[in-house]
């Protein structure tokens, strides 16, 4: 899809006029992940090479647009002459705190900062903005765009891969690769010591990382929040293995898995914020209470987010970036790019947000895991 100009017939005068978008912005929002820099790079090249646009990189997500002067980096060919494509994180900065509708102020109060964001966009003279974010960031930016007439297009990114209407989001493949590598490393030490190694992976409400890495890394037990499990079920699996003479094993658990009686495991931080974490230790305790199995726990955490992007994520980010610029250039706003059947397509942002994607019981990967003899929970 390449159109250099959008045209419109002026009502009543029959004259065809051409508009050409001259200046666009990019921001990364929410938790970082592998592939963000690759996406920004791709957006820049498409915008500059194909459409001659000026491209500004907004710093620290929406926070950059709130600041005065607005915090941005003018992007040029020099910006991308180094190794950015290969680097994790986002050189523009991002934030997953501070909802702009209720933004925490230094005096402890909360303020609606959305008008500052809207003003920031207009002060920079932006005609379009590409938002690289997850479902939370997309909802916030969609609402702000509606209030302030901002022209936005979204690119889905999240290691959790839970954005709807797209088969893949940027960052997911990198996280799966890191988790698989961790299982590869844990296998040898599990075998050396005859232990059960429990790997806790991220995934706030969805088990995509756990099921994918678990299969790729040869796990014997994979627990995801979408499927109920029991400690007895795990113990039976370990006993079955022991009866076959196999006394070491690998277990993957998604951080959002609850205890057997439904308690969410969270760690309270000094600032009062609660974050998921600890289910791996709970499982270890419970298994060791009921068996003579020796467990050890590894909580993988943010290495899944900060790792250099895999080739797959670099490719996805590059394809998404090109398509997102084409959407803006064609004056197609409020659209999200999506990956479907090996093609980039676009859907309404609202569709991406409203169709939150979890691991479905009918997902072929569940059947695959079961066929491999993996315990994935108490499935009838
Ligand atoms: O949503 C992405 C994610 O990495 C989750 O998997 C995880 O629970 C959360 O973000 C961690 O957030 P933070 O960076 O605030 O610790």
Please spell the DSSP secondary structure of 244-294, one letter per residue.
TT---EEEEEETTPPPTTSPPPEEE-TTS-EEE--HHHHHHHHHHHHSS-E
Ligand 1 atom closest to Cα of residue 304: 4
CB-CB contact of 346 with 150 (8 Å)? no
Residue 204 beta carbon below 6 angstroms from any ligand 1 atom: yes
For a mutational test of ligand 1's pocket, the pick from 158, 170, 202, 305, i.e. the residue with the most ligand atoms closer than 8 A to its C-beta, is: 202
282 CA to centre of ligand 1 in angstroms: 20
At 319, list the tokens: 């394809």
The pLDDT score that the predictor gives to residue 98 is 85
pLDDT at 69: 98
Distance CA 38, CA 36 (A): 5
Please tell me the number of Cα atoms within 13 Å of 182 on its side-chain side. 29
Q: Which helix (H) or strand (E) holds 343?
A: strand 343-348
Specify the residue for token string 């379009």: 128
**Domain ranges within the chain, ordered by starting residue:** 23-170+309-340, 174-306+360-371
Rounded distance from Cα 243 to ligand 1 centre (Å) = 39
CATH code reported for the domain at 174-306+360-371: 3.40.50.460
Closest CA to 62 of 70, 54, 50: 70
Residue nearest to atom 8 of ligand 1 (CA): 204
Q: How far is CA 236 from CA 62, 232, 273, 325, in A?
A: 50, 6, 37, 53
Q: Would you mind telling me the total number of residues written for the chain in this entry?
A: 380
Instruction: Determine whether the shortest distance from the Cβ of 179 to ligand 1 is under 6 A.
Output: no
Q: Can you tell me which atom of ligand 1 is nearest the CA of 97?
A: 15
Our CA dihedral for 265, 189, 250, 238, rounded to 10 degrees, sits at: -100
> Ligand 1 within 6 A of 249 CB?
no
| Minimum CA distance residue for ligand 1 atom 12 | 31
Instruction: Looking at the CA of residue 255, tell me the nearest atom of ligand 1.
Output: 8
Q: Can you tell me whether residue 7 is helix, strand or coil?
A: strand
> Which residues belong to the active site?
160
**Could you state, in chain order, the average pLDDT of each consecutive group of 10 residues for the chain (380 residues)?**
44 50 98 98 98 98 98 98 97 94 95 98 98 97 98 98 98 98 98 98 96 98 98 98 98 98 93 92 98 98 98 98 98 98 97 95 97 94
Which atom, in ligand 1's list, is nearest to the CA of 159?
Answer: 2
To test the pocket of ligand 1, the residue of 33, 135, 160 to mutate (highest count of ligand atoms within 8 Å of its CB) is: 160
For ligand 1, whether the C-beta of 96 sits within 6 Å is: yes
What spacing in Å lies between the alpha carbon of 255 and ligand 1's midpoint? 10
Residue whose pair of structure tokens reads 């997911």 in the numeric block: 172
Gap from CA of 169 to ligand 1 centroid (Å): 15
Where does 166-284 show beta strands of DSSP type E?
195-201, 221-223, 249-254, 266-268, 274-276
Q: How far is the CA of 126 from the centre of ligand 1 (A)?
A: 30
What's the CA-to-centroid distance between 4 and ligand 1, angstroms?
39
Mutate to test the pocket of ligand 1, among 30, 31, 32, 172 (most ligand atoms within 8 A of CB): 31
Quote the pTM value.
0.95
- Distance, CA 163 to ligand 1 centroid (Å)? 14
Give the SS3 label for residue 29: coil
Q: Which atom of ligand 1 is nearest to the CA of 209?
A: 6
Q: Would you identify the CATH topology of the domain 23-170+309-340?
A: Rossmann fold (3.40.50)
Indicate whether residue 158 lines ligand 1 (CB < 6 A): yes
Shared fold status for 23-170+309-340 and 174-306+360-371? yes
């Amino acid at each position: 899809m390449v159109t250099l100009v959008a045209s419109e017939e002026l009502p009543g005068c029959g004259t065809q006029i051409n508009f050409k978008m001259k200046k666009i912005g990019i921001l990364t929002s929410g938790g970082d992940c592998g592939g963000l820099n690759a996406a920004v790079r791709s957006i820049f090249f498409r915008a500059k090479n194909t459409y001659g646009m000026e491209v500004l990189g907004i710093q620290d997500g929406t926070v950059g647009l709130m600041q005065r002067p607005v915090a941005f980096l003018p992007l040029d060919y020099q910006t991308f002459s180094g190794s950015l494509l290969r680097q994790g994180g986002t050189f523009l900065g991002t934030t997953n705190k501070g909802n702009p509708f209720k933004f925490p102020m230094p005096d402890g109060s909360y303020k609606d900062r959305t008008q500052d964001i809207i003003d920031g966009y207009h002060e920079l003279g932006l005609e379009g903005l590409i938002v690289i974010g997850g479902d939370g960031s997309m909802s916030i930016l969609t609402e702000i765009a509606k209030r302030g007439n901002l022209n936005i297009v979204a690119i889905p990114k999240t290691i959790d891969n839970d954005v709807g209407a797209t088969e893949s989001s940027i960052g997911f493949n990198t996280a799966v690769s890191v988790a698989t590598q961790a299982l590869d490393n844990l296998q040898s030490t599990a075998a050396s010591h005859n232990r059960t190694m429990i790997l806790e992976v991220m995934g706030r409400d969805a088990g995509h990382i756990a099921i994918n890495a678990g299969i790729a890394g040869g796990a014997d037990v994979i627990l995801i929040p979408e499927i109920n499990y029991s400690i007895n079920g795990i113990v039976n699996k370990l006993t079955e293995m022991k009866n076959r003479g196999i006394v070491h094993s690998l277990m993957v658990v998604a951080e959002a898995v609850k205890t057997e009686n439904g308690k969410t495991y969270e760690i309270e931080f000094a600032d009062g914020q609660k974050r998921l974490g600890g289910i791996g230790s709970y499982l270890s305790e419970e298994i060791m209470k009921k068996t003579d199995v020796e467990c050890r726990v590894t909580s993988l955490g943010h290495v899944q987010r900060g790792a250099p992007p895999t080739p797959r994520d670099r490719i996805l980010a590059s394809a998404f970036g090109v398509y997102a610029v084409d959407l803006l250039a064609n004056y197609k706003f409020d659209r999200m790019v999506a990956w479907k059947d090996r093609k980039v397509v676009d859907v309404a942002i609202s569709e991406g947000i409203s169709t939150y994607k979890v691991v479905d019981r009918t997902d072929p990967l569940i059947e695959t895991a079961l066929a491999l003899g993996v315990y994935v929970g108490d499935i009838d």
